[in-house]
Structure 1
Amino acid sequence: MPVDSRRLQGPESAFSYTLLEKKDANAEESILSADLQKMLIDSNHVRKDKRKPTDARPLFLRTGIISQAKGSAYIEQGNTKLVCGVYGPREVQKKSDFRLNGQLFCEFKFAPFSCQKRRSHQQDNEELVLSGLLREALEAAVCLHHFPKAQVEVNIMVIENDGSPLAAALTCASLALASASIPMYDLVIGAAVRQLPKLLLLDPTKDEEWQPKLNHDENNSNLTVGFMPSMQQICAYVHEGVSNPEELEQMLKIVTEYCLKVQPVVQLCLKETVEKMLASEGENNDAE
């Protein structure tokens, strides 16, 4: 019987042992009726991971992770870890998909072990939606007319999900495209913010992203933005929940300010990548 050697040979029905822990029968009701802000932040306005409400998690970036890919990048944003590979440009295989401008094919996938509950090896509805959002955001930043009749593939794999995966994927994919020498108008920096009834949390974790059932008149939402800092344009805007216009404006201000702070970090990573490439080419020329 043939076996797929590339697939992880774990049990399909596996789940985290934490789901078997005993819980109070009235726990859900007590959580829904409690003050959500007190659950996520203490009296000194410090979050569970010792951050202030407007502080982001530590960020780590690296390129050249996948040797077979034309460009690749790895990102760690707290405990959220992703890797991105860029392949192409390649000729479009199907004549029905022929276009004069270039095309982007994006695949967003959670590793089976990346979440508390085991994910399937096949794409589910959430991953398909995230793939579409990623493609729409990157199409605004990539110069598609530079590779007509061709396609560039962008593959995102979430190794560990601890909140804000789409925001991290936008930054990681943009870095991978730039390292692959794909022409771009600007880098795309992703950022997310969590809105509570009386508080805004930048770069939320998985626990902070959770949205319980609150009263309809209370603001309770998540916002993810893809921002192009040099062009001062937004290429992705994903809002889930209930917010008033004033709160949305404040949320947008927080994430755009964060993106402007992250831009030099991404540029420095690209600069180091180019310096390594030039040094490697110089060594090869000397050897010849």
Structure 2
Amino acid sequence: MTLLALLSYACPLILCSLGALFSEFAGCLALFLDGLVSFSAFLFYTFTVTTGSAVLGAVLACLSAVLITLGFSAVVERGGANRFIAAIAMNLLFGALTSCLSSIIFGTRGVLAATAGAANAAASTASASSANTTALFKFSATTARATAVAITAVLVAISVLFLKYSRHGLYIRIAGSDADVLKAKGVNPGHIRTLSWSLASLYGSTAGILLAMRLSSFVPNISSGRGWMALAAVFLGKKKPLRIVAAVLIFCLADIFSANIQNYFAGIPSSFLISLPYLVSLLLILIK
């Protein structure tokens, strides 16, 4: 496996972890990330095959995810609800919405691989001349990998600079532990918590888009637990963005190793190989 392939494999989890970091600093951990990743991947697929533009599909998917999160956050703040319980409820809602909308729009809850005919069905404008052989949701491996690495590199840099040097980054870092300081400065902690969830949603939705690009399709539960692994990576990296990136890379390297080692050593139990990435993460936590 090339370095580009390894980095691109780790990109979705890196973005999820950085999104979780924003919310952890603000004291309202984004427990909805796992469901959001799959939901955003579905939205990206749907908008792309409907509009015929991957760029527009990505923008609409991110925008939709952020707006939904903003709406929920506003309700939670005004109602004084428990944000942790609300986040879990959002995670369940995202999963239900994905399944429901997939059934309504495409007539299936299974894997979605787009053709021109599928796009017409999604837009309810089917015509007899549609060519089912024209793929509208297909990305080459090189394009998907390069795009993932480039976008992730930019977002990692933005997160580091934002948290360290910007005023709102400072507000997010102290919102969870010293909310009274913000109140004394005339800053509403609720607005900062909402901002942290919005950033978590933006990073999580981008992760879902990259996963869909990698597979050139939408697969139910495409997140495969990355939203939950991201929460662990935040603490594994001691809430430092670059340490989190390093922790994710080690985890993904162990994951790739466990997936390929059986090709050379057939006698290794598959149960051990499946658990290897998590054992490595546990070992890193114990060492630290």
Q: Taking CA–CA contacts closer than 8 Å with sequence separation of 6 or more, which of the two structures ends up with the larger relative contact order?
A: 2
Q: Which has the higher strand share?
A: 1
Comparing both structures, which one devotes a greater share of its residues to helix? 2
TM score, norm. by length of structure 2? 0.21
What TM-score do you get using the length of structure 1 for normalisation? Answer: 0.21
